Structures are given as structure tokens and as C-alpha cells.
């Protein structure tokens, strides 16, 4: 078999040359778009902040489709508990009506800047409600992460 049998269809390009060119393109070319399951999640946002008529105090029990853990009760009066309640609701609820029944506008505004939410979820809410305070990263770990306590 002569060397012409190893030449490609593009004007005498050899297989080795094509492989090298493809590797150069792969290494130096644009990175392929990375898609994850999180990219496909839909985050629902009500039209008006005033629609959020959830309780301002007391205890809320989340439905099983939002929290499938053994303890689904959240204390609205406790910032950490209420924040966890709202984070689960905003990320996982399948209806705006459900969000409006659980989340209270005033409590949400108070907790918003410290809530841990996916970037796309936070962005969707802030696009509709620019009046929500800016996100601030915690400067210290919560006390439960300190081994000395």
C-alpha cells in the first residue's frame, strides 16, 4: 500500500496532520458549553412582592414535595430556620401560588442578603425585585462548623 492510501480527501492532508490539527483546535479552541441538570431547573417568581402573603411568625410545615426529611417544621421567628424554609421553597416549589402562601415579603426582604441560593434562582428574583438587598457572603463559618465549640 503506497503512501497515497493514507492521504485524506483534503488536498493531500495526511491522517497525522489532521489529528494534529484537531488536537490544536481542541486544546486552543473555545471550551465546549458545559450543561448540568441545574441549568434545566425553572425558578418561579411572583409578579409582585406584595403577593408574598406567608405567615410573618409562628411555625410552617412544608409539604413532602418540598422537604422530604423527618422534620418539616420551620420556625418563622428564627432567622436561620426561616431562611432554610425560604431557600427550600424558592428552589423547589412548582407553583407561584405555593410560594406566595409560604413566603412573607417582609421576612424575605430581611433575610434575602444572607440566603444561600443558586445563582440563577437569585438572579431570577432580583431581576423582578431589584429592591431586594444585595447578597453578602458570610465572613465567618456558622458556629456548627467550629470544632472547638
Contact 95, 119 (CB under 8 A): no
**Would you say residue 86 lies in a domain?**
yes
pLDDT in tens, 50-107: 999 999 999 999 999 999 888 999 999 999 999 999 999 999 999 999 999 999 999 9
pLDDT in tens, 10-45: 566 788 888 888 888 877 776 667 777 777 889 999
**Would you say residue 121 lies in a domain?**
yes
Quote the number of domains for the chain: 1
**Would you say residue 26 lies in a domain?**
no
Q: Which domain holds residue 68?
A: 41-128
**Would you say residue 13 lies in a domain?**
no
**Would you say residue 23 lies in a domain?**
no
**Phi/psi of residue 134, nearest 5 degrees:** -65, 150
**Would you say residue 29 lies in a domain?**
no
Rounded CA separation 52/90 (Å)? 12
How far the first Cα of the chain sits from its last, in Å, is: 76
**Which residues have C-beta within 8 Å of that of residue 52, sequence separation ≥ 6?**
46, 99, 100, 103, 104, 105, 108
Can you give the pTM of this predicted structure?
0.68
Amino acid at each position: 500500500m503506497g503512501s497515497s492510501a493514507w492521504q485524506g480527501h483534503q488536498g493531500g492532508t495526511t491522517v497525522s496532520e489532521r489529528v494534529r490539527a484537531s488536537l490544536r483546535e481542541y486544546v486552543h479552541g473555545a471550551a465546549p458549553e458545559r450543561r448540568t441538570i441545574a441549568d434545566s431547573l425553572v425558578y418561579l417568581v411572583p409578579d409582585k412582592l406584595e403577593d408574598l402573603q406567608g405567615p410573618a411568625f409562628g411555625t410552617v410545615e412544608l409539604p413532602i414535595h418540598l422537604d422530604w426529611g423527618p422534620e418539616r417544621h420551620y420556625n418563622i421567628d428564627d432567622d436561620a430556620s426561616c431562611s432554610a424554609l425560604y431557600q427550600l421553597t424558592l428552589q423547589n416549589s412548582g407553583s407561584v401560588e405555593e410560594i406566595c402562601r409560604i413566603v412573607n415579603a417582609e421576612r424575605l426582604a430581611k433575610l434575602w442578603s444572607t440566603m444561600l441560593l443558586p445563582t440563577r434562582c437569585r438572579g431570577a428574583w432580583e431581576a423582578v425585585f431589584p429592591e431586594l438587598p444585595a447578597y453578602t457572603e458570610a465572613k465567618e463559618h456558622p458556629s456548627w462548623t467550629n470544632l472547638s465549640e
